[in-house]
Amino acid sequence: MTYPRTDRTTSLRVPEKLGYDVEAANAILDEAHVCHVGYVAADGLPRVLPTVHARLGDVLYVHGSTGSRAMLEGRGDGLDVCVTVTLLDGLIYSRAWFHHSANYRCVIAHGKARLVSDAEEKWTALERIVDTYGDGRAAASRPPTPKELAQTAVLALPLTEVSVKVRTGGPKDEPEDLDLPYWAGVVPLSLTPGAPVADEGVTAAPPAHLARAGATVQS
């Protein structure tokens, strides 16, 4: 299944890197812990905020406090957003300055985000966001009180206008540069978890659901 191509999701350059595959987009959205939410503030100027997110089917839920500007401005008929998720996979050292690059996987989703007001949808979205810390984490922590719920805002972005950009592989130098005496190649990068550090007073063993963050735990 693929997303339709729109003016916003096509590019004037490097079209070969652009894709519209739903499963590829979902995999990136699900792997990333952080997204960047862009919107136009009331002053007409752009804002870009990092936050956590979770996907449920074809909806991307973005977390925020009801006090944050983006959420305030998302009331009413919704907030036009561009949500970008980038996973950096490596640095490309080419023989030429011009061909220095990065390996990455990136999803860009455009649309109108709505403030989630339905109580059941909000609960489900928050549960899913907590479960991005590890499947089962929501069941292994305390759900929100009515006061905490009121202090939390969730934006819902329907995933309808989405592009996927991926670069993999090594340097792509010009043929005439291949004999230059410079080192060229890739330094792979990955977001690597350290050992879990328990909070003071915690006696429970690190749970298996920490593996979502990639942590090595005894299950």
Residue among 2, 1, 3 at smallest CA distance from 161 = 3
Q: Which positions ≥6 away from 120 have C-beta within 8 Å?
A: none
For the beta carbon of residue 83, count every other beta carbon within 10 angstroms: 24
- Between 1 and 147, name the residue whose CB sits nearer to a copy of itself: 147
Residue with tokens 């479960």: 131
Evaluate whether 196 touches 175 at the Cβ level (below 8 Å): no
Applying CB under 8 A, which of residues 67, 76, 146, 175 lies at the interface with a copy of itself? Answer: 67
Task: Mark the segment that binds a copy of itself (CB under 8 A) among 21-29, 53-61, 98-106, 114-122.
Answer: 98-106
Give the torsion sign (CA, 169, 171, 172, 175).
negative
Distance CA 47, CA 42 (A): 10
- Between 1 and 219, name the residue whose CB sits nearer to a copy of itself: 219
Judged by CB under 8 A, does residue 158 bind a copy of itself?
Answer: no
User: CA gyration radius for the chain?
Assistant: 20
Element (H, E) at 97: none
Judged by CB under 8 A, does residue 56 bind a copy of itself?
Answer: no
| Number of amino acids touching a copy of itself (CB under 8 A) | 102
Number of residues that make up the chain: 219
The separation between the first and the last C-alpha atoms of the chain, rounded to the nearest angstrom, is 36
Structure-block tokens of residue 101: 């690059």
- Between 20 and 90, name the residue whose CB sits nearer to a copy of itself: 90
Applying CB under 8 A, which of residues 29, 133, 157, 162 lies at the interface with a copy of itself? Answer: 133
Question: Shortest Cβ distance from residue 61 to a copy of itself (Å)?
Answer: 14
Judged by CB under 8 A, does residue 78 bind a copy of itself?
Answer: no
x-marked contacts with a copy of itself along 2-41 as a string, rule CB under 8 A = -----xx--xxxx------------------xx-xxxxxx
Judged by CB under 8 A, does residue 116 bind a copy of itself?
Answer: no
Tell which positions 135-154 bind a copy of itself, by CB under 8 A: 137-138, 140-145, 148, 151-152
Judged by CB under 8 A, does residue 190 bind a copy of itself?
Answer: yes
Beta bridge partners of 109: 83, 162
Task: Mark the segment that binds a copy of itself (CB under 8 A) among 23-31, 54-62, 114-122, 132-140.
Answer: 132-140
Residue with tokens 């752009």: 46
Tell which positions 192-211 bind a copy of itself, by CB under 8 A: 192-202, 204-207, 210
